[in-house]
Amino acid sequence: MELQQIKYFLALAQELHFWNTSEKMFITQSALSRQIKALEEDLGVQLFERSKRNVKLTQAGVFLRDRWLPLLEEINRMHRQARKIHEGAYGSISIGYPGSVAYGFLPEFITGIAQTLPELKVELVEPTDISFEQLLLNYQIDLAFRRDPAENPALQSISLYSEHFALVVPQHHRLQQENFQGLQEVKDEKFILSGLHHQTFYVNSLRQIFNEYGFTPNVYIESDFGGMILSLVARGLGVTVLPSSYSFGAPPDVRFIHLPHKANLYVTWRREDTSPVLTNVLRQVQETAQKFNTEQI
């Protein structure tokens, strides 16, 4: 007994006409008759009562029709699902990201995923106490957006785009982009920053910026959460330096003043990961990044 024979049986059970069924199933009438006969012989059951004018289901045929039809629908559903998995259109992916992309790039990227891969489940992870590389190597995430390329040879990275760092000040602050001469103009003010003692690529970039201007900032409040930093700046508690993409979700009471220094955004994944889902997601990553390259954040 083969699945195709069951399909022929169900089609004939619906049409109750050999010629109509053979046309529908793209098979000759004689071949259809042979397939039905072979199925009956395999089962040891008569499925149809045949006459020159009529075809009628037997009680056994009715029973099998009612049982096989939902099973066939389930099998077809599973086959469709398997094709989606094979094509990378169904499944799940876990993505790590820094807070600085949470307001511009990441929402745009997730919107693209929702439109092109609507059945893909996405988990977003913003780690605070463990590196992106470790999460990837431990298979806790599948993809990471980060400010530096991967160092581990088991990982692969590509650069997506660059954006300016910005001095962020309260709205009422004396400095604006037009009269800004350099970061040394705020060297005596209180700063709200990520802890400069951390040994991350991002913090190293901040230290290099301050070194170029020849001063060590007076860090009044430390926080690794950009949203919190912006809220405190908006309240007039200090100034900060952040990637410009934070401006997409900034409160109205802050002002961004672009600095000449830039931060890069990379996407990183396990080098040996060739899953179709990852391939599709990386394609969407690059399409989204192209928009941000064009906008020149």
Query: Pairing between strand 143-146 and 55-57?
Result: unpaired
Please give the share of the chain, as a percent, with pLDDT higher than 70: 97
Cross-strand bridge partners of residue 263: 163
Q: What is the pLDDT of residue 218?
A: 94
Ranges of residues in the chain whose predicted pLDDT is under 50? 297
Calculate the average pLDDT of the chain: 89
CATH code that applies to domain 3-87: 1.10.10.10
Domain 163-263 sits in CATH 3.40.50.300? no
Q: What is the pLDDT of residue 297?
A: 45
Taken as a whole, the chain contains a residue count of: 297
- Any idea of the CA torsion for 206, 211, 217, 223, to the nearest 10 degrees? 20
Q: What is the pLDDT of residue 86?
A: 67
Q: What is the pLDDT of residue 50?
A: 86
Q: What is the pLDDT of residue 109?
A: 95
Q: What is the pLDDT of residue 171?
A: 94
In tens, the pLDDT along 19-63 reads: 888 989 999 989 999 999 999 998 999 999 888 778 899 999 999
Q: What is the pLDDT of residue 245?
A: 87
Q: What is the pLDDT of residue 294?
A: 61
CA distance readout (Å), 152 to 14, 214, 244, 265: 61, 33, 28, 17
User: At 93, phi and psi to the nearest 5?
Assistant: -150, 140
| Per-residue H/E/C for the chain | CCHHHHHHHHHHHHHCCHHHHHHHHCCCHHHHHHHHHHHHHHHCCCCEEECCCCEEECHHHHHHHHHHHHHHHHHHHHHHHHHHHHHCCCEEEEEECCHHHCCCHHHHHHHHHHHHCCCEEEEEECCCCCCHHHHHHCCCCCEEEECCCCCCCCEEEEEEEEEEEEEEEECCCCCCCCCCCCHHHHCCCEEEECCCCCCCHHHHHHHHHHHHCCCCCEEEEECCCHHHHHHHHHCCCCEEEEEHHHHHHCCCCEEEEEEEEEEEEEEEEECCCCCHHHHHHHHHHHHHHHHHHHHCC
CATH 1.10.10.10: which residues of the chain? 3-87
User: At 115, phi and psi to the nearest 5?
Assistant: -85, -40
CATH 3.40.190.10: which residues of the chain? 91-161+265-295, 163-263
* HSE (side-chain half, CA atoms, 13 Å) at 213: 19
Domain 91-161+265-295 sits in CATH 3.30.360.10? no
Could you tell me if 217 and 190 are in contact, meaning their C-beta atoms sit under 8 angstroms apart? no
